Amino acid sequence: MRISYQGEPGAYSEAAVFEHFGSAAAADPCKSFEDVFQRVVQGDSQYGFIPIENSLAGSIHQNYDLLLQHPLSVVGERYLYVKHCLIGMPGVRLDEIRKVISHPQALAQCAVYIRSLPGVTAEPVYDTAGSVKIASELRDRSLAAIASRRAAGLYGMAILAENIQDNPENITRFLVIGQEPAVPEGEAKTSIVFSLKNVPGSLFRAMSVFALRDIDLTKIESRPLIGRPWEYLFYIDFAGSTLDPVVERALAHLSEYALMLRVLGSYPRHRL
Amino acid sequence: MRISYQGEPGAYSEAAVFEHFGSAAAADPCKSFEDVFQRVVQGDSQYGFIPIENSLAGSIHQNYDLLLQHPLSVVGERYLYVKHCLIGMPGVRLDEIRKVISHPQALAQCAVYIRSLPGVTAEPVYDTAGSVKIASELRDRSLAAIASRRAAGLYGMAILAENIQDNPENITRFLVIGQEPAVPEGEAKTSIVFSLKNVPGSLFRAMSVFALRDIDLTKIESRPLIGRPWEYLFYIDFAGSTLDPVVERALAHLSEYALMLRVLGSYPRHRL
């Protein structure tokens, strides 16, 4: 089974693929999110794996846009703790390190830890997994990279310290996309996108659709539609599946108010 | 008047500072968002300027967290179109360019344009303004950078093409933060953050506070509180100022439901 993701081998997205599908999955690295969608649309890959929100950085609107532009369904979700490791040459001691390289966001997320290392400077590079590749090629004992545990293994490097991020609550949520809708059994969630006229109370009416039926929302987010100053796009996730008649009626009710409504898919709920 | 922002001279944040405060403002570059908040808290700067959301990349949760952690008020907002320029050595023709460097996000946002240039490759570097600095130092006629119009001027470089982003609707919203709350005259907006017990219908009740008083919401976003699985944080912006008695009553009503409620500030509304 081939699953496409954006990034290099050793990326956190790849780790999420293996956690979700098991280590036998054929993880297929792609250059861009657009490429991930294309692979699934053309049937080159069975599934795509895309990050949709991060607990520190927020929702990734670009991937919501790609979901709206492609005829694919959300068939799964996965939460992954982002646990950064300090990675150096095998046999190196922590006090030999003088420079740390990684993606600027990873360096920022480990700023307190890096400052705690005496005489160590940080230098940004393009990619987390790529920083390990660079460090392994330079074979410099004073150089360390910050990336995932798996990236260290891939490039034959050693883990000098683990879980070095300042905020332990660094979690990315991924969605699994496929050609066919899922038929989730057990506890399910559903993701929808819709737009409303921006008049006072319109969102309140839209929310009543769920509140009146005791449907529990797990995410709500508004996004102004640029160039259409009176319209908003909303992302909502809720507990339940479209196979449930109550959910079906709620969505029919919502379509009375919505200018546009797209059900992205129902899928088994993942809990960390 | 000194205004702190995160980034290097020539960054889009700096451009937003000048658009908002005029070209006489003393824009103060800082290494991190945390530094921007510290400057304002300690009185070294009168105001801080922070990006809070982007039309493609979404809300920046980290800056919401910093707003909650510091005793500062939101006193203004500013929307800025992100317009990327292709920047090269003075006198160079477009068909001499062989390599383009910039921040990976800027390269991604100009991918269609870059592909349209025959025989040109893209290479990521740390920063948009920094890519212009690099290109100016290397003095290589075949090398171009992608950054703001102002970055070209700062480093004595020429603009080879303008508005090269694939999606013209690339807009960043900034907030202005200061020690004292603003007293906005004319059309105002207010930003609040609050948390609710995650029980079905709780958000619906919270929204009724605004709907029953015809208060128009301009943004709503939920964010799960990690480690507290039954609580959510909500960001809401609405039309009106806390000086308006109707808004005052709505917030008193909301505080009956909210576990935590913080008014970040009221400020003059900016429209692009």
Q: Structural domain boundaries of chain A? A: 2-81+170-178, 85-162, 188-268
pLDDT of residue A84: 95
Nearest-by-CA chain B residue for A59: B58
Among this protein's residues, is B172 annotated catalytic?
yes
Q: Which two tokens stand for residue A235?
A: 């992302």
Q: Is the pLDDT of residue B230 over 60?
A: no
Query: Could you read off the pLDDT of A84-95 as tens digits, one per residue?
Result: 999 999 999 999
How many contacts, defined by CB atoms under 8 Å, are there between A and B?
104
Q: What is the mean pLDDT of residues B91-96?
A: 95
Q: Is the pLDDT of residue A157 over 90?
A: yes
Among this protein's residues, is A37 annotated catalytic?
no
CATH class of B188-268: alpha beta
Place of tokens 């496929």: A178
CA B7 and chain centroid, separation: 12
With CB atoms and an 8 Å threshold, state whether B227 touches A169: yes
Nearest-by-CA chain B residue for A125: B126
CATH class of B2-81+170-178: alpha beta
- Which of A56, A208, A226 lies at the smallest CB-CB distance from B61? A56
- Sequence-ordered list of residues with C-beta below 8 angstroms from that of B162, at least 6 positions apart, any chain: B83, B85, B86, B149
Residue A226's pLDDT band, with cuts at 50, 70 and 90, is: low
- Which of B65, B200, B207 lies at the smallest CB-CB distance from A203? B207
Residue A183's pLDDT band, with cuts at 50, 70 and 90, is: confident
Place of tokens 């609040």: B192
Tell me the average pLDDT of chain B.
91
pLDDT of residue B185: 86
pLDDT of residue B73: 98
Residue A196's pLDDT band, with cuts at 50, 70 and 90, is: confident
Residue A104's pLDDT band, with cuts at 50, 70 and 90, is: confident
For the question of an ipTM over 0.90, the answer is: no
Classify domain B85-162 by CATH architecture: 3-Layer(aba) Sandwich (3.40)
Question: Which of A50, A191, A226 should be substituted to probe chain B, the one whose Cβ sees the most B Cβ atoms within 10 Å?
Answer: A226
End-to-end CA distance of chain B: 24
pLDDT of residue A168: 80
Three-state DSSP at B260 gives strand
pLDDT of residue B175: 98
pLDDT of residue A169: 80
The structure's pTM equals 0.80
Range of lowest pLDDT (A252-266, B102-116, B153-167):
B102-116
Tell me the average pLDDT of chain A.
91
Nearest-by-CA chain A residue for B223: A219
Q: Is the pLDDT of residue B108 over 70?
A: yes
Query: Could you read off the pLDDT of B174-220 as tens digits, one per residue?
Result: 999 999 999 888 999 999 999 987 777 888 899 999 999 999 888 88
Range of lowest pLDDT (A28-32, A212-216, B229-233):
B229-233
Residue A230's pLDDT band, with cuts at 50, 70 and 90, is: low
With CB atoms and an 8 Å threshold, state whether B220 touches A218: no
With CB atoms and an 8 Å threshold, state whether B214 touches A200: yes
Domains A2-81+170-178 and A85-162 fall in the same CATH topology = yes
- Sequence-ordered list of residues with C-beta below 8 angstroms from that of B199, at least 6 positions apart, any chain: A216, B230
- Which of A59, A111, A203 lies at the smallest CB-CB distance from B58? A59
Q: Are A164 and A85 in contact (CB under 8 A)?
A: yes
| Distance, CA of B100 to CA of B102 (rounded, Å) | 7
